[in-house]
Structure 1
Amino acid sequence: MAEARGRAGASDAAQAHTAWAAVPKIELHLHLEGAAPVALTQARMARAGLAAAPLDEAGGYGWDGFSAFLAAYDRVADLYAAPEGARALAEAVLTQCAAHGVIYAELIMAPLDAGAAHGPDAGAWAERLAAVEEGADAAETACGVVCRLLPHVVRSYGPEACARTAKMIAGVRTPRVVGFGIAGDERVGRPADFSRAFAIARDAGLRLAAHAGEFGGPESVRGAVADLGVDRVAHGARAIEDPSLVALLAERRTPLDVCPGSNVALGVYPGWAAHPAPALRAAGCVVTLSTDDPPFFGTTMSREYAEAAAAWGWGEADFAAIARDSLDAAFCDAATRARLSARLPA
């Protein structure tokens, strides 16, 4: 009987997710390689004759703990290092986004050779960007999903390497590159350590975001705002632990790209009911919803909406407001924002 109830529960959950798929959504926190569909990765591995890693026995992405997740992520990213792989990946990821109602996505990507002693290769980066643009063009033509790119540096490489990478990113641009940020293990270094990289990006006219408030605690959010001058905080959930910080974020209307499914999967919170997104929103903070690395965490944008509705009682009006707030927080130009606005619920 328990097994039968489990099957029924899974079926009910799938139906709930499907019900939210048609709702237009804006996704601002999505890692390109972290969103690689498992089927696409399996196919690439089979063609290359590669062993099972990073796939587990169930055929998904296998990891146990945050550090292991980062390692698994890197193994997946290596499969898509060549321009051909990057193009296929971008098209597949954005097509999957569109299937869950996403009309606009900002993809986070980083130079794969950013940790090299000589610094990242500008030519290789330009080729990779061009390939991703081709994939994004194909997805937009086929599915109507609009994409912009947020190149990131990886904090574990250190401040100097991040500054070198920021200079390269600022000098190699495509029409879709609109922002800059920092990702990786936020327990490594302080936000202020990376202020030079952010100054380079800011001077180049890029909008700024930083991963903070996940494993680094509220102090990382405060540092991202005070020391890096970010326009948005990627994650930001743990700001709730500092009431004065919550008040500051609400006053400044600094958007938080919250990823509840990711936070729960990584053990930052024990479940959706414990997640502070509703409390942050009730306190006046700008809260957006994203998936982060969806196949690693067993989520989609439809599931994020379904879980938020079930755990927090959010309904159509809440999600419509979140979509509007998300579009306002997007780094796209005014003409693109106006075009997207017409596709959102009133």
Structure 2
Amino acid sequence: MLSVTPKIELHLHLEGAAPPAFIRGLAKEKRLDIAGIFDARGHYQYKDFWDFLKVYEAATSVLKSPEDYARLTLAVLEESAASGVVYSETFLSPDFCGGRDIGAWREYLHAIREAADQAERTMGITLRGIITCIRHFGPEKAREVARCAADTAGDWIVGFGIAGDEKVLTPKDYLWSFDCAREAGLRLTAHAGEWGGPQSVRDAVNDLGVERIGHGVRAIEDLALVDELAERGIVLEVCPGSNVALGLYPDWRSHPIGQLYDRGVKVTVSTDDPPFFHTTMTREFDELNRAFDWDDGVFANLNRTALDAAFCDADTRARIGKLLET
């Protein structure tokens, strides 16, 4: 039963995982009108990736306090735990949590961590945070985000990354922020190879020195790059349901995760922004099983790859590893 298989997820945007009903309810409490971001069935609606970014930010606009983020964290982790997720890394942005002010960010982080601790006690799911700058907000704001990251780096904030519109500027424009995070001891990842082509993956790896790539699937268009990723052990945080929902690939069978896996690239599976793409970790596993006839052994390999690639400390990794053996 893939639904109850313990799973590890490395690529999850906290705000993007907010159930639509949660956001609608919060908007109603605050008397905010965001009805335009939902369709007749109450689901998020958007035309394309760039419209999705606008809808994402509109939904996030109702989250105005640390308490809101605590409630959000519990709602998201409840959904993840229902799919058998036992360990998750979520992207957090001080852009949305306190306007990049370090003091305000610390308050938001405290609330998120308290909620995560509660979920770990009651739901058996462990959460860690990756602070993420937003590419289309520009390099100067990214520097402020990196300072927040450096200030709160530790056992819970374990990584730093970049998300947003890949067609804005280049990875090298954010090098200062990544160097700042690296010096603070944070592990590094970057969104690339989704809307940017293979070169965006190569640039993120070579210019920013990341060890993981968010998405990275368009590397398949450059087989020399694919072989390089495999040789260097760069891990791809692949989100097939997201890629199909946004029209990057027409269906699951056309998705390159199977080719990447067969060529020795370290791939993992995640949901990205699950309610936006009508997916869950259970659905991801089920669809991959149908598309590629992957058996339990393949999914066990994917989980082991994800565990090895997780940014958590060794003790946490060992504890989660025991859960995968059950």
Question: Shorter-normalised TM-score: what interval?
Answer: over 0.9
In structure 2, distance between residues paired with 1:138 and 1:157: 33
- Residue in structure 1 matching 2:57, options 67, 70, 74: 74
Amino acid at match of 2:289: A
Checking the alignment, whether the CA contact within 8 Å between 1:115 and 1:161 is kept in structure 2 is no
Residues 199-218 of structure 1: matches in 2 within 5 Å? 199-218=179-198
In structure 1, distance between residues paired with 2:55 and 2:6: 31
Unmatched tracts of structure 1, length 5 or more? 1-18
The reply to whether residue 64 of structure 1 matches residue 44 of structure 2 is: no
* C-alpha RMSD of the superposition: 1.5
Runs of 4 or more, structure 1, over 6 Å off, are none
In the superposition, the TM-score normalised over structure 1's length comes to 0.91
- Residue in structure 2 matching 1:89, options 57, 72, 83: 72
The reply to whether residue 265 of structure 1 matches residue 245 of structure 2 is: yes
In structure 1, distance between residues paired with 2:163 and 2:80: 21
Checking the alignment, whether the CA contact within 8 Å between 1:88 and 1:135 is kept in structure 2 is yes
In the superposition, the TM-score normalised over structure 2's length comes to 0.97
* Aligned equivalent of 2:27: 45
* Aligned equivalent of 1:184: 164
Paired residues, number: 325
- Residue in structure 2 matching 1:226, options 206, 214, 225: 206
In our comparison, the structure showing a higher alpha carbon Rg is: 1
Secondary structure of the corresponding residue to residue 126 of structure 1:
helix
Checking the alignment, whether the CA contact within 8 Å between 1:209 and 1:233 is kept in structure 2 is yes
Residues 239-281 of structure 1, C-alpha deviations (whole Å, 9 max, x = no match):
0011111011000111100000000111111111110001001
* Aligned equivalent of 2:320: 340
Amino acid at match of 1:340: I
Once the two structures are TM-superposed, the CA of residue 194 in structure 1 deviates from its matched residue by 1.0
The reply to whether residue 240 of structure 1 matches residue 220 of structure 2 is: yes
The reply to whether residue 318 of structure 1 matches residue 298 of structure 2 is: yes
* Aligned equivalent of 1:30: 12
- Residue in structure 1 matching 2:141, options 127, 144, 161: 161
Checking the alignment, whether the CA contact within 8 Å between 1:261 and 1:299 is kept in structure 2 is yes
* Aligned equivalent of 1:16: none
Amino acid at match of 1:24: P
Unmatched tracts of structure 2, length 5 or more? none
- Cα 1:115/1:236, change in 2 over 3 Å: farther
- Cα 1:164/1:44, change in 2 over 3 Å: closer
